[in-house]
Structure 1
Amino acid sequence: MENRKFTALFFSLIPGAGHLYLGLQKKGLQIMIAFFGLIALVDWIHLPIAGMFIPIIWFYSIFDVRKALYNPQNYDDSLNLNLSFDFMNVKYLGWFFIILGVAAIFDNVVFPLANIYIDWQTMRYVKSTIVSFIFIALGIKMLIPRR
């Protein structure tokens, strides 16, 4: 039994592989597709900021395998993502894709063209300022009470 736990924890270093080893195929494949799909997406659109979710998926996978091994009676095999397409979920997903697309356009088109005319230090300041304003706007939106 102890060898099985060690092997499952070893496989959990690859997101989804530990779940597959334990027989949780659906959850393992979902985690694996999310992890490697996000890596491919970050490389494809050349947007490193989206890569901040990669370690989150990785650590979730490791700790979830540990939970499945050491607390199997309270373990839920589903991924627990609410993917129902009600208006609010679609709205937030839409905003996420719009922000991701605008960020990709700025990072891959606007900034490289601007680098021809503006030095790299100024461009770094402009990028930092834009990201800072986005975070400030998101924070203000979160603090405003909903009606």
Structure 2
Amino acid sequence: MTNQKNRFFTLVFSCCPGAGEMYMGLYKQGISLMLLFFGTVAVSAWTRLDELCILLPVVWCYSFFHTHNLRQMPAETFAEVEDKYIFEERFDFREDWKLTEKHQRLFGWLLLFLGLSIIWRTGLDLLGTFFQMSNLFWYLNRSIPQVIMALIVLYGALRLMRAPKDGAAEESMETAEEEKTTN
């Protein structure tokens, strides 16, 4: 794999998050960045949380400059670059997709915030439609999937935040076994 790619095509592909990395031969990194960028757009549009779009310039700039840094690396250094998914170091995707307790709580709080935001915005919009009864049925039809998704997200957040620690689960199982043997 070589990083001596055409400057013009490197510039063109680096304008789309992930495409520049894929042009350089780093497909896992490119797919990760594309999914992060376009997934944020999709979730933001679907949940109507425009605040999520604040992440888009960050992902775009990272991808753009990362591509150009890869192109300017010496060939020996570029040959040592490992093609791996962006979040592979933070999460172990090979073993049961478990998060560490710290990441589990953080992800739980993020999901809780996302779910509450969706319900809040939907509730405010719903109250506004009570004053315009002609739009009520149209709005209910449009907002029911969003409310259901928000409830699912909230349920997942609460499950993650209340999940027992690995050691606590083992201790409770041992205690239950001890109680059975004493009876």
- Normalised by the length of structure 1, the TM-score is 0.70
Alpha-carbon distance between aligned partners in 2 of 1:23 and 1:2, rounded to the nearest angstrom: 11
Structure 1 unaligned segments of length 5 or more: list them. Answer: 119-147
8 Å CA contact 2:18, 2:31 repeated in 1 = yes
Deviations 1:70-97 (A, max 9, x none): 1252755442651241100111011001
For the residues of structure 1 that align with 2:108 and 2:4, how far apart are their CA atoms?
46
Cα RMSD of the aligned pairs, angstroms, is 2.3
Cross-structure match for 1:113:
126
Structure 1: distance between partners of 2:42 and 2:117 = 17
95-104 or 78-87: which moved more? 78-87
Deviates more, 1:72-81 or 1:53-62: 72-81
2:136 corresponds to which residue?
none
Amino acid at match of 2:69: K
Count of aligned positions: 117
Counterpart of 2:18, as a letter, is: G
**Identity rate of aligned residues, in percent?**
28
Give CA deviations for 1:13-60 in whole Å, capped at 9, x if unaligned: 011111111111110011111111111111111110111111111111
Q: Given residue 115 of structure 2, which amino acid in structure 1 is its aligned partner?
A: G
- Following superposition, the deviation at residue 116 of structure 1 comes to 4.8
Runs of 4+ deviating beyond 2 Å: 74-81, 113-118
Q: Secondary structure at the match of 2:15?
A: coil
**8 Å CA contact retained: 2:10, 2:67:** yes
Aligned partner letter, 2:51: I
User: How far apart are the structure 2 equivalents of 1:67 and 1:76?
Assistant: 15
More divergent stretch after superposition (81-90 vs 94-103) = 81-90
Q: Which runs of 5 or more residues in structure 2 are unaligned?
A: 93-98, 132-183
1:6-85 matches, within 5 Å, as: 6-72=8-74, 73=77, 77-78=83-84, 79=86, 81-84=89-92, 85=99
Q: Which is higher, the Rg of structure 1 or of structure 2?
A: 2
The one-letter amino acid paired with 1:45 is T
Structure 2: how far apart are the matches of 1:70 and 1:103? 43
Structure 1 residue identity aligned to 2:103: N
Cα distance in 2 for residues equivalent to 1:76 and 1:110: 47
Secondary structure of the residue aligned to 2:6 is helix
Q: 2:104 aligns with which of 79, 86, 90?
A: 90
